[in-house]
Amino acid sequence: MKKITVWGLAALLIAIWGCSPKWSEEDKGSYKLVHNEGGPTLGYAPTSGVTILTVDRFAFKDLNKNGRLDAYEDWRLPVDERASDLASKMTIEQIAGLMLYSGHQSIPATGNGFYGGTYNGKPFAESGAMASDLSDQQKKFLTDDNLRHVLITSVQSPAIAAQWNNNAQALVEAIGLGIPANNSSDPRHGTDSYAEFNAGAGGKISMWPGTLGLAASFDPQLMKQFGRIAALEYRALGITTALSPQIDLATEPRWSRFDGTMGEDPKLATDMARAYVDGFQTSTGADEIANGWGYKSVNAMVKHWPGGGPEEGGRDAHFGYGAYAVYPGNNLKDHLKPFTEGAFNLDGATGMASAVMPYYTISFNQDTVNRENVGNSYNKYLITDLLRGKYGYDGVVCTDWMITKNTQSVDVFQGKCWGVENLSEAERHYKAIEAGVDQFGGNNEMGPVLEAYQMGVAEHGEEYMRKRFEQSAVRLLRNIFRVGLFENPYLDVAETEKTVGNPEFMKAGFEAQLRSVVMLKNQKNTLPLKKQTNVYIPKKYIPGGKNWFGVETKPEWKDAVNPEIAKKYFKVVEKPADADVALVCIDSPKGGVGYSLEDVAKKSNGYVPISLQYGPYKADFARETSIGGGSPFENFTNRSYKGKTGIASNMQDMKTVLETKKQMGVKPVVVVVRVSNPMVFAEIEPSAHALLIHMGVQDQAIMEILTGGSEPSALLPFQMPADMKTVDEQFEDVPRDMKCYTDSEGNTYDFAFGLNWTGVIQDERVAKYK
């Protein structure tokens, strides 16, 4: 008789007694799936050393490889119990790694620049590596620094992203406690203006207008639809956290991040914020694990607490010259509403956004307890007293990127340690932790976090600091557990390719683009135009310059629209004399950043106006003394630019409109403006018979509206100023406080204004929000 092993005997007894395991295994190549009958599907990599435990006939992953089922490995238990158990098992080094959020990672990493990396010490092109391989730097921060939150930027393709995810998850599954990677993304659903939409055709990813364009629909359900579709595509790419939405109230019209917001109206922005987060976070049906969270959920990290909109003079806080948010109208309360009444007050079962990012800004004189003017992530009043205390928020608070790094001047893209420039990097980490922060954006190294821990031990004792670190660990782990990553972090590449940019999603995005275009003027029913009308489309001048990273671009003239798209709607002619209509496509004025080294060279303070008009503007109505001011890199505090002149770098856009009008005589000129900020229309509106604006759409969407394929229905989610005087005199923190432009037809370009083919839109959206 053959001998029988203990496990064989157990299997025999289970079979006799009808207690066979309730799971089966499926080999997927680089990973295996374990299907629990009546339970979740598990995924693990055979190379990771993880084995499957059978308990009560169900399968569980032995992530820490100790041969027994720990509470954090038991998918039957509530998330908080699992997170608390795991946090208690983690070393301080492991928690410190969990508190890191990586710098920007492109897949594959290319070059030596901002997104650079190497493979076995060589550039990607010379390495022979696969595009889905992990770079040397990624391997280091995942293994040596215990980092588990990765910010992904560009990817070569959806399939490569999925393969990279599987490689990263297999690596971290093999380490320590088997904590999966929580990968994230900044918004990635923008439009390629040149791309063509074909019904039934797919693309790299669905293309939508930006959130400001979606807000122009005045329809929160459209925003929610975007969130749901975007979440499905994110999950197919291995992305489980969205570093969005940007729900700053856009009360300062000159701010360079204005077009990433949901507009300036508190009620509209609040409703849109709620819809966005509900769309991203909510799983339903078989995809739901518990409380609305599940396998199709994406954590939403709302930004930027307590509102980054009221930047003094419109200068942005990525640089020291824009460090101050100011409140001349004493109106912090409106800036909190998209958070407290929107993102923290969801209709869906997830309840509130799972993470919050404070902005770089010093919210000047808003700390009513400690009277401290430091960057928001360092401010204990704003994080602990207000966010966590008054508003009861217990989700993750993650700093904006690189706030703990050093900087050398107010005009260089480096660290953003506003108000704490005199502290060491480790001291900045400790101050942020004491303020209530859980995580550090853009930091790949755990060393400064460990130093901060020791500072806390010296001040409060080991027990206090261990408890404080576990508190952050539980918050961070919740967001990994709730989306099912501990059960199965692996992706089926074929499913990814079918999901991302599928025809249904592409169609929804294109239809949303059509609903985001605002018609401001339609003199004598110039629009819609008949198809194959003779149309002259002048080229567009693109001014040169430097981006934030110092990369220079040269000026150039280029086609204003994709000529192949235009030819499908019009007979495009080369000369105005041969045209029945002219179509001029331009950008809103690019009025600068509010700081100039040329001004410094003139022995002035460097601060200059940001203009919302094309032509020169002298800031005679700016405030005499700035509200915010002061930097270790400046020997003055008054950042006023009164009496100085600003000019748009793309003034040629205005000239193109005026020249085209002159060339066309009495024949109609249609002007389409890609708007990034509110603008002064007095310079170009009189020369336009019809005027449309958009916040980022495909050229094809514009053509559809121009030719009547779709009727314009969007409304202005912000005001258009009458002149720069009203811009300089408005309060940075107060919504809808400008004198608005009135055009030659007698229409005022105020919040909630828009035209359709029959005239001014007066519907339930206008009644609700205006």
**645's tokens:** 């002149």
Return the amino acid letter for 662. K
Nearest to 208 by CA among 188, 196, 191, 233: 191
Nearest to 249 by CA among 354, 127, 318, 335: 335
Which of 248, 259, 265, 438 is an active site residue?
265
Do residues 334 and 373 make contact, with C-beta atoms less than 8 angstroms apart?
Answer: no
> CA-to-CA distance for 30 and 22, rounded, in angstroms?
24
Do residues 375 and 416 make contact, with C-beta atoms less than 8 angstroms apart?
Answer: yes
**Which residues, in sequence order, are CB contacts of 72 under 8 Å at separation 6+?**
63, 82, 83, 85, 86, 89, 177, 486
**Which residues, in sequence order, are CB contacts of 258 under 8 Å at separation 6+?**
212, 250, 252, 676, 677, 678, 718
Nearest to 191 by CA among 765, 709, 724, 695: 695
Do residues 119 and 107 make contact, with C-beta atoms less than 8 angstroms apart?
Answer: no
**Which residues, in sequence order, are CB contacts of 684 under 8 Å at separation 6+?**
586, 614, 654, 657, 658, 671
By DSSP bridging, strand 51-55 and strand 58-62 are antiparallel
> CA-to-CA distance for 766 and 755, rounded, in angstroms?
12
**105's tokens:** 């990672």
Give 105-108 contacts, CB < 8 A, sequence gap 24+. Answer: 105/135, 105/138, 105/150, 105/151, 105/152, 105/153, 106/152, 106/153, 106/154, 106/155, 107/131, 107/132, 107/152, 107/154, 107/155, 107/156, 107/160, 107/161, 107/164, 108/132, 108/133, 108/135, 108/156, 108/160
Backbone φ and ψ for 81, nearest 5 degrees, come out as: -65, -40
Do residues 648 and 679 make contact, with C-beta atoms less than 8 angstroms apart?
Answer: no
> CA-to-CA distance for 573 and 576, rounded, in angstroms?
8
Residue listed under structure tokens 């954006």: 441
Is residue 18 exposed (0-12), middle (13-18) or buried (19+ Cβ within 10 Å)? exposed
Is residue 423 exposed (0-12), middle (13-18) or buried (19+ Cβ within 10 Å)? middle
CA distances from 236 to 151, 239, 515, 729, 752 (A): 16, 7, 27, 48, 36
**Does residue 438 have an active-site annotation?**
no
**CA 500, 506, 508, 509 torsion-angle sign:** positive
Count of CB atoms situated within 10 Å of the CB of 283: 26
**Which residues, in sequence order, are CB contacts of 435 under 8 Å at separation 6+?**
377, 378, 379, 380, 382, 383, 384
Nearest to 116 by CA among 64, 72, 153: 153
Do residues 299 and 242 make contact, with C-beta atoms less than 8 angstroms apart?
Answer: yes
**Does residue 737 have an active-site annotation?**
no
Which of 400, 438, 653, 728 is an active site residue?
400
DSSP single-letter state for residue 197: P
Task: Quickly list DSSP for 591-633.
Answer: ---SB-HHHHHTTS-SB-PPPSSSS-EE-TTS-SS-SS---TT
> CA-to-CA distance for 61 and 421, rounded, in angstroms?
46
Residues identified as active-site: 265, 400
